[in-house]
Structure 1
Amino acid sequence: MKNRKRNSKLSLVRSLLVLLVITTVAALLYIDSNDVTNEANSGTRNAVVDLLQKQVFEPVLPDTAVTLPKDFRFHPEYQHEWWQYFANVVDDEGAEYGIQWSYFRIASDERKTAGWQSPQIYISHVVISSKNKVWKEQRIARGGVGQAGMIVEPFKVWVDNWCWQATGKTPFPGELDISTNEFALNLQSQAAGPFALLGENGYQPKHDLLPIAAFNISAPFISVKGEITLGDNKTTRVKGNAWMSKEWGSQLISQRQKGWDWFVVRLNESEVLTVSQYRHEDQMPYVFGSIISNSGKTISLDETQISLNSSKGSVLKGGKRVPLEWDVIIPQYDINLALTPVNKNLLLPFIIPYWEGPIEVRGSHNGKGFMQLTGY
């Protein structure tokens, strides 16, 4: 009886936490444009956006330099932090998999309180995909009670039994260990090139008129090896390449932002291309990118250098249309790419919802990459 009561209380706490996250985050990264036409939903979104735009957190300013390894730390003075990890791996028999891990912190306000009064909420998801199958799960936790958090030395971020940990002040060399009822993974990642500070020394604007920006650290050259265990309980050895980024800031969206499109492409063994497009109502998209070399050189790209176009879109389950085929042309650097998804069924129904998954790259360069699409 006591165990049933305790489980019931835990279930209630988790339900309330989910409601809090939905209220705060669904508006932060809203997806379905039909919601805009619904007066009640639009009112809720605007109220939350108003909260997010209050200057109670530190502003993201261009004269604030990103410093390594210092800025791998926890940044409670800013409203959000977002770790993302993409890996293209292959097993001993040549079968290919995409692995995605995301770790997101968002503060409901600027308080510095402990325990269940902590304003920090953590959301993490993991996805493994092959050409025909998808394995996925999400975790949500309140900071301040030990269920989730960040430690800088030795480096560690965790939620429940999901953990990325290293022995030093940076994530590398590091181990990602995740176990669910349906699948598991254990991956060892090693930096195979330097970190990159995108934009202006890590300061990345996301709008050409409004002061919307974030700080960013990227690790575009990562070698990875380890094991995955899928639905048949068979453990498979895998190895390949990965990309990791950390972003933090205090104002992620504007009132009229529709969504964004983000592409990470490994051009060859020594260069990685990243292209982002932030879409706004009644305005041209804000487009930017970078060509990152493992020699340490980063070339910043703006909208005058990048041509980014999509097809009419693929109709996915549920009738949603998402543009899954894209052309990226950068004439100055002889880049002409056609991007297509490896598995179309990666519209992820998480609290932070988006289409995200591995892509095939054809054209002037042939290879692999990842794509993230929101707002459709």
Structure 2
Amino acid sequence: MPAKLILGLCMAILFAAPLRAQGYAGLGSTAEAGFATPEHGRPLVFPRDHGPHPEFRIEWWYLTATLAGPDGTPYGIQWTLFRSALAPGEAEGWQSPQIWMGHAAATSARSHHFAERLGRGGIGQAGVRTGPFEAWIDDWRMAGDDGLRALRLTARGGDFAYDLHLNAEGPLVLQGDRGYSVKSADGQASYYYSQPSYRVTGTLALPSGPVAVTGQGWLDREWSSQPLAADQSGWDWFSLSFETGAKLMGFRLRGTRGDFTSGTWIAADGTATALTPGALRAEPLESSDAAGPEVPVRWRLQLPERDLDIEIAALNPAAWMGTRFAYWEGPVQIEGSHRGRGYLEMTGYDD
């Protein structure tokens, strides 16, 4: 059977349409027998946990960066590698049950470019390894040292490309309770940590020509087998960097039984404090259908315990990722009690 046909059949089985009713992209469906589930209190171990966890059903390496050109023009980029498993464990060659998917994007106030790659594990087309660290799908690469302190990031689509160097200026942040991140009142959870403090330099290639860029990068790492409750249809995810040096990761998971919000406050020195569920208030203020589906593109976020009351606005309301599982992802600008820049991801708005 041709490799492309095998890949297509595997993707169809793994991402079957009925799963959409069980949370965004099926992430609320019950983990099948044999898959591992996160255990509260299990410590994260590095560099091992920078690598893949084939005993879990889903996993991702997710990097965004807010950038600026020499004239101050703002840009944003995204690089993501997703791993999904047809069955727990790993095997060689075409017997591997691991399916890989890559997303890359480059966004400005006037344009949004994105690309998607699909791949199989076991045949060298895509994967992640440590010693030294490397994540790849086809010719897209995130590679560097095993501590994720220094990385080189490359990707290209039909009308864009980037080649960036990232150097961490702060510690890793363990989200939730030492890396155990609860996602619902029912207790669904994931293992989740971040490196939110990259200094970024490099080149962004657009149809108008190459642009030298500098800025800040944020890497999220997460894995689970059922991170959402069955009634949760999607999420609104914020990674925000303030001019004071502090940072905020926050999320709102939307469900028929009510929204679930949580997150982490990260001080300028990298000290992380988990938020109690409900402490973060996230209110959509304005929506746009510039990208097709109507999505909130201006928000008010409040965190009274940190005297935070801000408004967040999309740099480009049309930053829609028209990929296999479509979602909105783009850079945002922050005004109010705290100023800065960040990234917003919103899923589940295309149903």
Which TM-score applies when normalising by structure 1? 0.87
Residue 157 of structure 2 corresponds to residue 180 of structure 1: yes
Give the unaligned 5+ runs of structure 1: 1-7, 32-44
Aligned partner (choices 237, 240, 257) of residue 262 of structure 1: 237
> Is 1:16 the counterpart of 2:12 in the alignment?
no
**How far 1:49 sits from its partner (Å)?**
5.9
Alignment CA distance shift 1:254-1:29 (3 Å): closer
Using the TM superposition, give the Cα deviation of residue 296 of structure 1 relative to its aligned residue in structure 2, in angstroms.
Answer: 3.2
TM-aligned CA deviation for residue 29 of structure 1? 5.8
Q: Distance in 2 between matches of 1:20 and 1:182?
A: 31
Partner letter of residue 196 of structure 1? V
Conserved? CA contact 2:24–2:232, under 8 Å: no
Structure having the higher strand fraction is: 2
Rounded Cα–Cα distance in structure 1 between residues aligned with 2:339 and 2:148: 29
Number of the residue aligned with 2:37: 59
Contact 1:49–1:255 (CA<8 Å) still a contact in 2? yes
Pick the aligned partner of 1:289 from 263, 277, 290: 263
Show CA shifts across 1:327-359 (max 9, x none).
Answer: 011122111100110001112111132111011
The whole-number CA distance in structure 1 between the counterparts of 2:337 and 2:18 is: 39
Q: Which amino acid aligns with 2:12?
A: L
Q: Which has the higher helix share?
A: 1
Question: How many pairs were matched up?
Answer: 348
Question: Which residue of the partner structure matches residue 96 of structure 1?
Answer: 74
Which whole-Å CA distance do the structure 2 matches of 1:331 and 1:109 have between them? 44
> How many angstroms apart in 1 are the aligned matches of 2:28 and 2:273?
33
Q: 1:16-65 deviations in whole A, cap 9, x for unaligned? A: 3543453289637637xxxxxxxxxxxxx6xx965x42241111111211
1:213 maps to which residue? Answer: 189
- Residue by residue over 1:130-159, the C-alpha shift from the partner in whole angstroms, topping out at 9 and shown as x without a partner, is 101111100010101110011111100100
Alignment partner, residue 318 of structure 2: 345
Deviation of 1:285 after TM superposition, in Å, equals: 1.1
TM norm structure 2: 0.93
Q: Which 5+ residue runs of structure 2 have no aligned equivalent?
A: none
- CA distance in 2 between counterparts of 1:292 and 1:220 reads 9
1:60 alignment partner AA: P
- 1:234-249 to 2 correspondence within 5 Å? 234-249=209-224
Counterparts of residues 1-376 of structure 1 (less than 5 Å): 9=2, 11-23=4-16, 27=20, 30=24, 50=29, 52-166=30-144, 168-208=145-185, 210-232=186-208, 234-281=209-256, 283-311=257-285, 313-318=287-292, 320-376=293-349
**In 2: Cα distance, 1:375 partner to 1:177 partner:** 28
Aligned residues of 1:25 and 1:351 also touching (Cα < 8 A): no
Q: Deviations over 1:277-331 (max 9, x none)?
A: 11111x121111111124231121124432221125223344x221221101112
Separation in 2, partners of 1:238, 1:306: 32
Of structures 1 and 2, the larger Rg is shown by: 1
- Indicate how the Cα distance of structure 1 residues 72 and 108 shifts in structure 2: closer, same or farther if over 3 A, else same: same
Q: What secondary structure sits across from 2:173 in the alignment? A: coil
Amino acid at match of 2:15: I
- Cα 1:151/1:241, change in 2 over 3 Å: same
Structure 1's 24 and 77: CA in aligned 2 closer, same or farther, altered over 3 A?
Answer: farther
Deviates more, 1:188-197 or 1:108-117: 108-117
RMSD (Å) for aligned C-alpha atoms: 2.1
Secondary structure at 2:305 match in 1: helix
| Structure 1 residue 180: Cα displacement | 3.2
> Are the aligned partners of 1:348 and 1:355 in contact in 2 as well (CA < 8 Å)?
yes
Distance in 2 separating the partners of 1:29 and 1:165: 32
Match of 1:3 in 2: none
What SS does the aligned partner of 1:332 have? helix
**Aligned 8 A contact 2:28 2:232 in 1:** no
Question: Structure 2 counterpart of 1:187, which letter?
Answer: L
Deviation digits for residues 188-226 of structure 1 (CA, Å, limit 9, x no counterpart): 000011110011000001011x23100111111110001
Percent identity reads 29
1:172/1:212 Cα in 2 relative to 1: closer, same or farther (>3 Å)? same
Separation (CA, whole Å) in 2 of partners of 1:177 and 1:310: 34
Q: Tell me which residue corresponds to 1:41.
A: none
User: How far apart, in 2, do the equivalents of 1:212 and 1:49 lie?
Assistant: 9
Conserved 8 A contact 1:290-1:301: yes
